[in-house]
Amino acid sequence: MSLTTRIATTLDAAVLSELAGATFALACPPHTTPEAIDAFIAEHFTQERFAEHLADPDCVILIAESGTDSGTDSGTEGGTERGTEGESGSAPDSAAGTGSGRPPVGYSLLLYGEPTDADVASSISLRPTVQLSKFYTRAEAHGTGVAAPLMQATLAEAARRPVTGIWLGVNEENTRAIRFYEKSGFAKVGRKHFLVGDRQEDDDVLERPLG
């Protein structure tokens, strides 16, 4: 699959909301109820919530899209298309839909700053740090080579700021994701908890150096 990665803009809030809603359940353990998943999506993945993320200077969202423009197959090289207005500014007037017209197949979300979770703060050792808060691809994109270039572009984007390390949380039962993250240079450094519905899930905390 040919792939392009780019920085999301304020035009992408609705697209990101749909993409997040379509992919969140893929990372949940089998015992997570549909009701808990739906409630989590309704609280955390609304268009308004993504609009807030896109307006946050400490947040950067990347979108992976199927297909390329002529000469801009940046995803396969780990590059990222950047809009004329910066990381979260408005896209050009000609933009429509996702701002590119290409179908979105995955996204990642970076949050810069010290972690507020005490378990994470005591587990990571590389500072300043950035959190890989979200990294999802559509189910139909699994096994098509989308995840690796999206991760490559995400790590390159994370390193654009003066940070030393990057960390993430992943459910301990999500062995597919854990294997991918380990192949991407992450290693387990601790554990934390993650609430979905009324059930507290156990997450592994993974970290890797940048630069």
Residue 107 CA to residue 40 CA, distance in Å, equals 18
**Tens digits of per-residue pLDDT, 59-91?**
999 999 998 654 333 333 345 665 433 333 333
Please check whether residue 168 is in contact with residue 134, taking contact to mean a CB–CB distance below 8 angstroms: no
pLDDT for 145 equals: 92
**Tens digits of per-residue pLDDT, 83-115?**
433 333 333 333 334 556 789 999 999 999 999
Strand order in the sheet with 165-171: 3-7, 59-66, 104-112, 129-137, 165-171, 199-209, 187-196
pLDDT for 198 equals: 76
Architecture of domain 3-209: 3-Layer(aba) Sandwich (3.40)
**Tens digits of per-residue pLDDT, 166-202?**
999 999 999 999 999 999 999 999 999 988 877 788 9
pLDDT for 98 equals: 58
Please check whether residue 7 is in contact with residue 81, taking contact to mean a CB–CB distance below 8 angstroms: yes
Burial class (CB in 10 A: 0-12, 13-18, 19+), 172: middle
Q: What is the CA radius of gyration of the chain?
A: 16
pLDDT for 73 equals: 37
**Tens digits of per-residue pLDDT, 139-156?**
999 988 999 999 999 999
Please check whether residue 107 is in contact with residue 5, taking contact to mean a CB–CB distance below 8 angstroms: no
Instruction: Give me the sign of the Cα torsion angle 22, 48, 195, 134.
Output: positive
pLDDT for 207 equals: 99
Burial class (CB in 10 A: 0-12, 13-18, 19+), 13: buried
pLDDT for 199 equals: 78
In the block, tokens 């156990």 appear at 202
pLDDT for 101 equals: 78
Q: What are phi and psi of 174, to 5 degrees?
A: -90, 75
Mean pLDDT (whole number) for 106-125: 98
Query: Can you tell me whether residue 95 is helix, strand or coil?
Result: coil
The residue with greater pLDDT, 71 or 45, is 45
Residue 133 CA to residue 62 CA, distance in Å, equals 12
pLDDT for 85 equals: 35
Peptide bond into 128 cis (omega under 30): yes
